[in-house]
Structure 1
Amino acid sequence: MNRLATAAAVMGVLMSVLGGGLLAASAQQAGDKPPSSGQLPMLFSTAPPTSGAQAQQKFELPSTFPTIPSGVAIIPQPDNQGQRAPAQPAASSPAASSPAAGPQAPASPASPPPAAAPGASAGNPGGVAPAMPPAQPLAPLPTTTPLPPQDVATPIVPPTIPQASPLPATAAPQPAPAQSAPAPPVSVQAAPGRVAPAQATPAAGAAPAASVTPPPTPRVVVPPLRDLPPVQSSSTYPMFAGSADSRGQIIRLRDMGRSEGLHLEGTAAEASVSFTARQDDAFVGSRVSLIFSYSQAVARDEGELSVLLNNEPVGSVAIGKSKGPKSRTEFTFSPALLATDNRLQFRFALKGQGADACKIARDKAFWVNIEPNSFVYLSAARLPLADDLAFLPRPFVDPKDPLTLTLPFVMPASPAPEILQAAGMVAGYFGLIAQYKGATFPVVFDGLPATNAIVFVLADRYPPGVASIPGEGPRLAVITNPAQVDSKLLLVIGANAAELQTAAATLALGAQHLSGGWTAARDPLPPPRKPYDAPKWISTDHPVRLGDLVAPSSLNGRRIADSPQVSFRTAPDLFFGALSGGTLYLRLHRADDTWIDAGNSRLFVYLNQRIAGEVPLEPKLKVLSRLKEWLFPGRADDRVSQVILPGYQLFSSNRLDFVFELRASQSADCTSLEWSDRTGIDPDSLIDLTHVAHFAAFPNLALFANSGFPFSRLADLSDTAFVVSEAPSAEEVQAFLNILGKIADDTGIPATRYAIVDAAHVDTVADRNLIVVGLDSPDSLLRKWESYNSVHITSTSVSAVPQPSFFQRLFQPFDPRAPYYAGAAVELARMNLGKPYAYMSSYWSPLDANRIVVAIGGNNGQALVEMTKQWEDPDITSKIQGDFFYFTDGRGEFYTSNRRKFVGQLPIWWRIQWLAGSFGPAAFILIICAILIFAVTIQRFAAYHANKLLARRA
């Protein structure tokens, strides 16, 4: 009887646990309200429901990386050695796929008061569902129901974001014992392009899996989410916040490419932005914070602003009754909605306008602005990776990481130029992957940081705690960092300088072919590059397809008002003739949706936020097009519209915005429209920049700051030399590496053929363009060449080369890229005498009159590094002009001496146009003088003949 009673009790407990878990899953699917921020389940999941809005990845990562499963990933706890086993997927069950369930640790005595988990019931207080047998089918991930509209938006005067409460201190990392040499590489076949979800059994080459004990059934404590960190004013943020297992990051709208924010116009409008997230992050918390303002017309009526993530509703807020100039609201959403590529959507509509808003034109009196400081906050745990080169560039950098890369470089103190050349190649590789988000490379001499790092090993001089790598010759290896078990070290190894550079070049140009714990590096350098063939620069030899610049799916207009974007770069020295520019040959394709009113729908084309053209969705057919339509019915989509891209609006970095404004027919119901991705821009549309010339004036620091020009004219920098001091400091080396990372991002390829010498051997590179990097010292090359600067700074005074006189400017060629005024660098330097500063100066080389020099120096190493880090900030980059730039305390100003020389070739007719435009004032004076001389001559001639005629008559 006792045994029967015990068995019955056990069966009752199991049935109650099963019932509570299934009820939790069914309640979430039924559309109940999502849990509050304090009750949000801590899920480790990065795979949301399938969404067609995800953009195609531009950087192909190794296919051997285990993808994160579409469920719950368990982050194992460190063992007593400080080691962490690889993540294991949770048991496959409907409850495991639900945001209301997940493996939780039992409550500790120090834990906060327990909070009721979502889906908890009387029979299952913890809300934890047991693992189901493998035969049971998996339930799909639930979607998040929209939050109910709030009555009023919270006003903010002025708009601020409250400071976060101090986060708990993190425990110091436990050092690991000395590392053993990794196993030699194993020859394996290439993995297929599609990777199956990771299974419980670790893949070959991965770290050994730790046995995970199922959590007990007692009540589970779900800790509340931490407060939002404050929004920083600079473009960079602390990547990680909180404990070692949970890291927080903030992604602002300006970090998503919307530095001006979003503008929703009309009684019903939509806009969207895209952001990415690391693929090796498991998200445990997420929320979106909006700061917005609206017009007086909106304030008079009632409207609603809705937020969606990957087409799933996040929440909505009622607006129009707030009295403040700006309002702020926040929404918490399930991390299960997040993917690697995400689309954040905003919809605004006035009350009662939903059914007819798609039929009427936009009313500019109704608008809502979403501020660029609005942000998405993500809390994530980093998944560990095995020691395998096939995972490169991860974990050192993830192409989907939305924030600035900070990656330390470890090398011997007072590095020789040969070591710096190898380090520069690697910096270019990681700078290229970081892209526009920017990268900085702190330098550590003879030590190991407690983060991921790159280590340069010359002649078997390994850092303490790092075991030697077997083999001979140039090698690459990845190992666990002895100073921090959660991070990795990438070793670049060579017995001499030549082998070290070979290993660095193999990493920079062929990392996608590496595998194993270590490998030999023997890839030769590619042939030298040709002028203007940088991979990121649009060719001027032939038109370029839009489909080659962005994913074709991103060119579709999915809503009433949508704005696909196409970013592209050009050579910085392009010259366009008068009234000329590039040409956009635009092909539109339209779905056969009966509700679209093609006659009143149109597409607006913006170039760098200025309107360039307007294209109707169904343009009027010309004679030939009508004939083609008659001969080949249904081929009207091949019609091409031409949009002129004005030359004065084209820069080295450009952005095209295509704003769809679709209208529905009178019989359509705007609340139930069916959309098709076939409505959009044909990927075969072309950008034609073939009718241009290469012609520019130097010196010009703006070309260098935006594109590394003229050094990047050859993308491998084969006609460039860097000049450093004989014993460069860590700050000088970091500035040098930052420059090479930035140039690689500008061109699309790491530089491998530049030369690097110390100041004593600068004469050996006299035939190259020079970049001089260092700090001012009495015997430095910067001090010797100081007289060539247009601004001279001492400890007590600031002086500048005087501006040309009026008559000198009158006969000086006109430069359309030159600033309109002399600049304020002199005044800024005088106000900050005695403070740390850095500067950039450009002038013609004292060693060769046909070569250019850019000197990058200062009196303080931190100021020098900070200046090179700020090049990704548009506010700072816009101030880098002329031939001198002064930087101090986060501020910068330029100065131009207006003494320049033009380089390049122009066609004869364009040269005549340029000369006429350059010497306009002088030509005007000469023309007036010629007219006066001609008039005087005619008057004298007429008077002479009149007198002669009068004399004859007399």
Structure 2
Amino acid sequence: MSRITKKVIFASLALMTFASQLMSAPLPLPGNSSVSTALPKPPAEHTDQVLPSWPVTYTFEQLGRASDTLLLGINSAEQVEFGLRRDRIASDASLQLEYTPSPALIPTLSHIRVYLNDVLMGVLPIEKDQLGRKTSQKMALDPRLISDFNRVRLEFIGHYTDICEDPANNTLWVNISRGSGIVLQEQALSLQNDLAFFPLPFFDPRNNGPLELPFVFAANPTLGEQKAATILASYFGSQSNWRGANFPVLFDTLPKVPNKDAIQPTVVFATNDHRPAFMSDLEKFPAVTAPVVEMIDHPDAPYSKILLVMGRNEEDLATAAKALALGGNLLRGSRVTIDKVQELQPRKPYDAPAWMRTDRPVRFAELISYPQQLQVSGLQPRPITLDVNLPPDLFVWRNQGIPLRTQYRYTAPSANDDSRLNISLNDQFITSLPLLRKDTSNLEELRLAVLSNDTANVNDKLIVPSLKIGDRNRLRFDFNFASTMGSAQRDRCQTILPANTQAIIDEDSTIDMSGYHHYISMPDLKAFARSGFPFSRMADMSESIVVVPSKTTPTQISTLLEAVASISARSGYPAFGVRLSNDWQAASKEDADLLLLGEMAPDMRDNPDLTLLLQRQRDMLVQPYGTSGIDASNRRGPSTDGRNMPANRVEVTAQAPIAAILGMQSPSHNQRSIVALLGNDDADYSLLREALGDSGKMDAVAGSVALIRSSGVYSQLVGDQYFVGNLPWYLLLWYQLSEHPVLLAVLAVISVVLSAFLLWRALSWAANRRLHKDD
């Protein structure tokens, strides 16, 4: 290298160094002659806050697969759906799959494909050591594909031979365990205080778990404050539906959170004169001049939101609660003032949104829960099911049947074989219809019979068995395609690819429950447990009064909120019209159904219908003759069974918690009922809350009294029955006489003799008149 070249390089380096120093120095500001030459210091540490996250596992059983799933050669796909709250994202996801493959499969060639939202995530080959054994495999899922609604699809590719394979061979199977699950690492999103997202973050329908939402009051909440909380709790109950809802109650304090990253939404009720202690600062929480709803951050946990329901008085709180339930689409911003909430049209009996209409034929499109519910595919497709929820007092006794107008379409079979459509109701077979090659679109007008001699269609060709129509019914359609797949002989191999058969029940199909009367034998706690009856007769509970103790504890208020929320969950509508009272004497005289919370009123303890009395001093139980328990689900008789009459009385004294649900007739109105949730202390009410939130325990509630202990629920039927509803006189007479065949026979003989006597007298009169006329 020459000297000139070296000088040029050194000069270039010097210029570059000088230029870098000029660029790193701060520029002079306009109007400021003093310029600092000190360089800025880098931050000592990274201050970004990590959002809270936690692992969540959804098993296939929790996602609706009550039993294991068997994948076959001709029914090789299954999918499970799961949701993710809108205020969370998935930072990691995986599939924990438990399966048992057939021992006849060829290893490696047989495998399972896993899809997430129609994107292939991977393949699980079936190894030799897995054949016939339960296997657990974990597969990573791409969290970037996970949204608010997701599908995981499993496809089974099985081989049992390498020559002339029959897809319908019964050795092609793999059993997917219901214990399989989807594991997510959920991460919270930092939400703004914006009511436009309401009911988020307090409730999200994409969450499959039960709702837990604390309610906070000032000490000794008034009846008006409890009513406002009951209305709002019923709204959340109607939204949570089958998930269940828990409402822990606190006085004067917010729920404690384990750390600042915890997420615990809370609802607070406060008036200007009665507010929780943490809202005593009037500068931070000024008095309001109208019903106000505001969302704020929890003071100790920035990711936890608080919903403030505020008003000048109790009426304002009820107005704000109704506005939250009715006007959610109008809310926006962190604070909303409610100007007016007005009822334009009162509710009518039996118009609960969760119940099928009984005043006109109902299209299947009104009964479906999700799109494509009525469409299936495959040689052995899944059954098409429809849930038909009815009022529990619908009187279908001795009726000629329920009209069912069914339209369906299907892929035509290759020949007129044994392909059929089976229809059943409540797992009871109704009829089977052939799927013919020439008729790929059919209309069948069936009649869901309630008598064994009823016909199944208008042509009187199909006879169906007796059916039990209840409050919860499941209508099921099974398409079964009989297809010839080919020959599996080695010397003559002829394999045919199975057709992509599809079938659909048309949305314009109808079921007609109109024209039925309402009449039910009471007390029937099964109707209360399953349908919230009689309080759900009016969807808004406008003909119901809840009687609460004059001095309530947080656990008692939680029981109140959860009891009314469970009724709204079964009716599908908030309890806007519910009334609360702590005066038993006044409430018992009202023409309303009573939900009693607490101890039985003193003037009711001598009631002959009272079969149970829980007191701190002693517990009393009246038992029927010759039975230790009942299941009232099938009780339809018009008269009282003598075995239900009281025969024994037991009195005990014990310290362990016990609670009960008691049903009886109102002492003031024979068409009204009383359901009492009995308990003495917080431990008893904890048992009640646990039972109200447990579907298995509620299914055991029946009869006139249900005892709740740590061992479970014990139900029995004691005392006289009474009837609620109305029937035409001729139908009522026939119904009452149906349980007395001897009396019915005597009346029939008397009727025949009387008719014969009248006929004889009429003929004698006619003969005498003719003789006198001839004379």
Report the TM-score range of the alignment, normalised by the length of the smaller protein. 0.7 to 0.9
CA distance in 2, matches of 1:488, 1:387: 8
The alpha-carbon distance between structure 1 residues 667 and 3, as it changes in their structure 2 partners (threshold 3 A), is: farther
Are the equivalent residues in 2 in contact too, given 1:267–1:353 (CA < 8 A)? no
The alpha-carbon distance between structure 1 residues 845 and 486, as it changes in their structure 2 partners (threshold 3 A), is: same
Matching of residue 656 in structure 1 with residue 469 in structure 2: no
Q: CA deviation at 1:679?
A: 3.7
Q: What residue is the counterpart of 2:325 in the other structure?
A: 508
Q: Deviations over 1:241-268 (max 9, x none)?
A: xxx7112333334433343454557874
Matching of residue 429 in structure 1 with residue 216 in structure 2: no
Q: What residue is the counterpart of 1:879 in the other structure?
A: 700
Q: Deviations over 1:101-157 (max 9, x none)?
A: xxxx9xxxxxxxxxxxxxxxxxxxxxxxxxxxxxxxxxxxxxxxxxxxxxxxxxxxx
Q: Please, what is the CA RMSD of the aligned residues?
A: 4.5
Matching of residue 687 in structure 1 with residue 511 in structure 2: yes
The alpha-carbon distance between structure 1 residues 472 and 883, as it changes in their structure 2 partners (threshold 3 A), is: same
Q: What residue is the counterpart of 1:459 in the other structure?
A: 272
Q: Deviations over 1:834-868 (max 9, x none)?
A: 31122111111234343211110223424424433
Helix, strand or coil for the counterpart of 1:868? helix
Q: What residue is the counterpart of 1:392 in the other structure?
A: 198
Q: CA deviation at 1:767?
A: 2.2
Matching of residue 888 in structure 1 with residue 709 in structure 2: yes
CA distance in 2, matches of 1:644, 1:737: 39
Helix, strand or coil for the counterpart of 1:487? strand
Q: Deviations over 1:887-908 (max 9, x none)?
A: 1226212111152112223356
CA distance in 1, matches of 2:165, 2:619: 61
Q: What residue is the counterpart of 1:491 in the other structure?
A: 308
Q: CA deviation at 1:337?
A: 4.1
Matching of residue 276 in structure 1 with residue 83 in structure 2: yes
Matching of residue 479 in structure 1 with residue 479 in structure 2: no
Q: What residue is the counterpart of 2:348 in the other structure?
A: 530
CA distance in 1, matches of 2:672, 2:247: 29
Are the equivalent residues in 2 in contact too, given 1:267–1:350 (CA < 8 A)? no
Are the equivalent residues in 2 in contact too, given 1:596–1:663 (CA < 8 A)? no
The alpha-carbon distance between structure 1 residues 817 and 475, as it changes in their structure 2 partners (threshold 3 A), is: farther
Helix, strand or coil for the counterpart of 2:387? strand
Return the letter of the residue paired with 1:514.
L
Choose which of 148, 166, 178 in structure 2 pairs with 1:340: 148
Q: Deviations over 1:796-830 (max 9, x none)?
A: 97653343699xx9xxx96269999999xx99x99
Return the letter of the residue paired with 1:534.
A
Q: CA deviation at 1:350?
A: 5.1
Q: What residue is the counterpart of 2:24 in the other structure?
A: none
CA distance in 2, matches of 1:767, 1:803: 30
Are the equivalent residues in 1 in contact too, given 2:98–2:177 (CA < 8 A)? yes
Are the equivalent residues in 1 in contact too, given 2:638–2:739 (CA < 8 A)? no
Are the equivalent residues in 1 in contact too, given 2:56–2:183 (CA < 8 A)? yes
Q: Deviations over 1:670-715 (max 9, x none)?
A: 9977858x74221112122225321111111111111110111111
The alpha-carbon distance between structure 1 residues 729 and 645, as it changes in their structure 2 partners (threshold 3 A), is: farther
Q: CA deviation at 1:603?
A: 3.6
Helix, strand or coil for the counterpart of 2:624? coil
Q: What residue is the counterpart of 1:546 in the other structure?
A: 364
The alpha-carbon distance between structure 1 residues 357 and 819, as it changes in their structure 2 partners (threshold 3 A), is: farther
Q: CA deviation at 1:645?
A: 6.8
Q: CA deviation at 1:766?
A: 2.9
The alpha-carbon distance between structure 1 residues 651 and 849, as it changes in their structure 2 partners (threshold 3 A), is: closer
Are the equivalent residues in 2 in contact too, given 1:389–1:514 (CA < 8 A)? yes
Alignment of 1:196-207 (within 5 A): none
Choose which of 667, 672, 679 in structure 2 pairs with 1:846: 667
Helix, strand or coil for the counterpart of 2:661? strand
Alignment of 1:7-406 (within 5 A): 245-262=52-69, 268-290=75-97, 298-299=102-103, 308-313=115-120, 315-316=123-124, 318=126, 328-347=136-155, 351-352=159-160, 370-406=176-212
Matching of residue 448 in structure 1 with residue 254 in structure 2: yes
Q: Deviations over 1:23-64 (max 9, x none)?
A: xxxxxxxxxxxxxxxxxxxxxxxxxxxxxxxxxxxxxxxxxx
Q: CA deviation at 1:511?
A: 1.6
Matching of residue 577 in structure 1 with residue 383 in structure 2: no
Matching of residue 717 in structure 1 with residue 541 in structure 2: yes
Helix, strand or coil for the counterpart of 1:562? coil
Q: TM-score, normalised by structure 1?
A: 0.61
CA distance in 2, matches of 1:742, 1:309: 35
Q: What residue is the counterpart of 1:752 in the other structure?
A: 576
Are the equivalent residues in 2 in contact too, given 1:292–1:327 (CA < 8 A)? yes
Which has the greater radius of gyration?
Answer: 2
CA distance in 2, matches of 1:501, 1:330: 51
The alpha-carbon distance between structure 1 residues 598 and 481, as it changes in their structure 2 partners (threshold 3 A), is: farther
Are the equivalent residues in 2 in contact too, given 1:564–1:659 (CA < 8 A)? yes
Return the letter of the residue paired with 2:471.
S
Choose which of 747, 763, 773 in structure 1 pairs with 2:597: 773
Return the letter of the residue paired with 1:535.
P
Return the letter of the residue paired with 2:473.
N
Q: What residue is the counterpart of 1:626 in the other structure?
A: none
The alpha-carbon distance between structure 1 residues 723 and 908, as it changes in their structure 2 partners (threshold 3 A), is: closer
Are the equivalent residues in 2 in contact too, given 1:462–1:468 (CA < 8 A)? no
Return the letter of the residue paired with 2:472.
S
Return the letter of the residue paired with 2:296.
I
Answer 1 or 2: which has greater strand percent.
Answer: 2
Are the equivalent residues in 1 in contact too, given 2:85–2:206 (CA < 8 A)? yes
Are the equivalent residues in 2 in contact too, given 1:693–1:906 (CA < 8 A)? yes
CA distance in 1, matches of 2:162, 2:723: 58
Are the equivalent residues in 1 in contact too, given 2:547–2:580 (CA < 8 A)? yes
CA distance in 1, matches of 2:389, 2:178: 24
CA distance in 1, matches of 2:11, 2:638: 91
Moved more, 666-675 or 376-385: 666-675
Q: What residue is the counterpart of 1:933 in the other structure?
A: none
CA distance in 1, matches of 2:344, 2:336: 20
Choose which of 516, 524, 530 in structure 2 pairs with 1:700: 524
Q: Deviations over 1:750-795 (max 9, x none)?
A: 0111210114664475321110112x4xxx6379548553234567
Q: CA deviation at 1:610?
A: 4.3
Q: TM-score, normalised by structure 2?
A: 0.74
Matching of residue 857 in structure 1 with residue 678 in structure 2: yes
Are the equivalent residues in 2 in contact too, given 1:412–1:446 (CA < 8 A)? yes
Return the letter of the residue paired with 1:555.
L
Return the letter of the residue paired with 2:700.
K
The alpha-carbon distance between structure 1 residues 496 and 291, as it changes in their structure 2 partners (threshold 3 A), is: same
Return the letter of the residue paired with 2:425.
L
Moved more, 867-876 or 736-745: 867-876
CA distance in 2, matches of 1:533, 1:271: 37
Choose which of 375, 379, 388 in structure 2 pairs with 1:568: 388
CA distance in 1, matches of 2:495, 2:153: 18
CA distance in 1, matches of 2:653, 2:579: 36
Are the equivalent residues in 2 in contact too, given 1:358–1:663 (CA < 8 A)? no
Are the equivalent residues in 2 in contact too, given 1:428–1:508 (CA < 8 A)? no
Return the letter of the residue paired with 2:351.
D
The alpha-carbon distance between structure 1 residues 536 and 427, as it changes in their structure 2 partners (threshold 3 A), is: same
CA distance in 2, matches of 1:816, 1:531: 25
Q: Deviations over 1:916-951 (max 9, x none)?
A: 64335x569979999xxxxxxxxxxxxxxxxxxxxx
Helix, strand or coil for the counterpart of 1:486? strand
Q: Deviations over 1:505-526 (max 9, x none)?
A: 1112222221122112122234
Q: Deviations over 1:714-764 (max 9, x none)?
A: 111111001111111001100111112112221121011121011466447
CA distance in 1, matches of 2:11, 2:276: 65
The alpha-carbon distance between structure 1 residues 671 and 428, as it changes in their structure 2 partners (threshold 3 A), is: farther
Helix, strand or coil for the counterpart of 2:229? helix
CA distance in 1, matches of 2:424, 2:84: 28
The alpha-carbon distance between structure 1 residues 674 and 379, as it changes in their structure 2 partners (threshold 3 A), is: farther
Are the equivalent residues in 2 in contact too, given 1:293–1:369 (CA < 8 A)? yes
